[in-house]
């Protein structure tokens, strides 16, 4: 099963993706985690994207698309993937569609987590993960990038008719129950 988990920064995509990974036994692919790992290990990719992540901007589409295609070509994703943080622009969504078409795969579900904006800001500022992009100023910028670049992805999939909206407010388990329900 190929699932996209979508939503603004702080919506809980990563948390729910981890739970889904264990429950459904589908690997989790988080572009944000891959970038942070590369930054930590000071790889060439990490060096290239560090200032972009620190500024709360988006990594160029071509870089992300190449990375995701490489990753999805691995056999561990043969039976499915939980995509988290990708696609984040309409260009990325179109590239993913072509890649899936070429490989006889399809998106089985597009889950979007809905959380009010003040709650998003509170969550990010209080999560204390020490992320360099979790400062008040950067959070504001990430949300504005989300509205401008990423929210249109939702409309793109809505037009295709595959979107399931999940109320993202509640306990982690309550939200996970909603996800299981939506996928059943």
Which sequence positions are flagged as catalytic?
A: 13, 88, 127, 131, 142
Q: Which of residues 81-120 bind ligand ADP (CB under 6 A)?
A: 85-86, 88, 92
Measured from the CB atom, the residue of 147 and 181 that comes closer to ligand ADP is 147
DSSP assignment, residue 180? H
Cα–Cα distance for residue pair 18/152, rounded to 1 Å = 25
- The yes or no reply on residue 6 touching ligand ADP (CB under 6 A) is no
Cα–Cα distance for residue pair 133/154, rounded to 1 Å = 24
- The yes or no reply on residue 67 touching ligand ADP (CB under 6 A) is no
- Residue 86 CB, nearest approach to ligand ADP (Å): 4
Measured from the CB atom, the residue of 52 and 162 that comes closer to ligand ADP is 52
For 65, the enclosing helix (H) or strand (E) is: helix 61-72
Quick one: which of 146, 100, 69 has its CA closest to 3? Answer: 100
Rg for the chain, CA atoms, rounded: 16
**What is the contact surface with ligand ADP in residues (CB under 6 A)?**
9-10, 31-32, 35, 52-53, 56-59, 64, 85-86, 88, 92, 133, 142
């Amino acid at each position: 099963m190929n699932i996209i988990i979508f939503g603004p920064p702080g919506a809980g995509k990563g948390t729910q993706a981890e739970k889904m990974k264990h429950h459904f036994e589908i690997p989790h692919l988080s572009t944000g985690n891959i970038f942070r790992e590369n930054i930590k290990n000071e790889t060439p990719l990490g060096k290239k994207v560090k200032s972009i992540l620190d500024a709360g901007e988006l990594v160029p589409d071509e870089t992300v698309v190449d990375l995701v295609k490489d990753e999805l070509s691995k056999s561990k994703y043969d039976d499915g993937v939980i995509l988290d943080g990708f696609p984040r622009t309409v260009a990325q969504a179109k590239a993913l569609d072509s890649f899936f078409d070429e490989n006889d795969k399809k998106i089985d579900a597009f889950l979007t987590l809905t959380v009010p904006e003040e709650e998003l800001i509170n969550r990010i500022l209080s999560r204390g993960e020490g992320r360099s992009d979790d400062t008040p100023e950067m959070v504001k910028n990430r949300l504005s990038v989300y509205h401008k670049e990423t929210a249109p992805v939702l409309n793109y999939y809505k037009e295709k008719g595959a979107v399931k909206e999940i109320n993202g407010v509640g306990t982690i388990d309550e939200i996970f129950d909603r996800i299981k329900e939506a996928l059943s």
